[in-house]
């Protein structure tokens, strides 16, 4: 069983929850803010605590996401490197949008928008 943190934009919560249910159904522990953040918690606190125990970070991409070139060229590769050093595997997934990047943080993006079943099967295979 893997501990999986699903990161997403608020606009993509329905898709993130759907993915979370699919991942949970095969026995993985899913951390999703909507399911766990309580009154008095902060999102950064939740993220830090969750990443301290996560095996995987499923990073949801959206058309509504940040598109500054430095995010893709500098920040996300640095994030992927930091996560890797901590033993966390980043799996970028496309949750919504029409022009997704081919790669995020040096990893190919798994597209959940064009073929949900195939995309989820790929995510589950990556999780082991």
pLDDT at 124 over 60: yes
pLDDT value, residue 84: 80
- Distance, in Å, from the CA atom of 81 to the CA atom of 88, rounded to the nearest integer, reads 9
Q: What is the CATH number of the domain that holds 30?
A: 3.40.50.10140
Longest dimension (CA), the chain: 38
- Distance, in Å, from the CA atom of 98 to the CA atom of 78, rounded to the nearest integer, reads 25
DSSP states along 41-104: --HHHHHHHHHTT-SEEEEEE-TTS---HHIIIIIHHHHHHHHHHTT-EEEEEE-S-SS--SEE
Residue numbers of the domain that contains 82 = 3-127
pLDDT (tens digit, 9 = 90+) per residue, 18-35?
999 999 999 999 988 777
Q: Which residues contact 55 (CB under 8 A, 6 or more apart)?
A: 2, 3, 4, 87, 88, 89
pLDDT (tens digit, 9 = 90+) per residue, 58-109?
988 877 665 555 566 666 677 777 788 888 888 888 888 767 677 777 788 8
Domain count, the chain: 1
pLDDT at 57 over 80: yes
pLDDT value, residue 73: 60
Q: What is the pTM of this model?
A: 0.81
């Amino acid at each position: 069983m893997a501990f999986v943190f699903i990161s997403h934009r608020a606009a993509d919560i329905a898709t993130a929850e759907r993915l979370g249910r699919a991942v949970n159904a095969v026995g993985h522990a899913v951390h999703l803010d909507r399911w766990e953040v309580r009154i008095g918690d902060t999102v950064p606190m939740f993220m830090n605590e969750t990443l301290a125990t996560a095996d995987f970070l499923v990073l949801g991409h959206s058309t509504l996401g940040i598109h500054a070139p430095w995010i893709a060229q500098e920040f996300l590769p640095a994030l992927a490197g930091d996560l890797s050093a901590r033993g966390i595997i980043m799996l970028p997934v496309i949750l919504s949008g029409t022009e997704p990047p081919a790669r995020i943080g040096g990893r190919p993006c798994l597209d959940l928008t064009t073929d949900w079943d195939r995309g989820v099967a790929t995510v589950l295979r990556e999780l082991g």
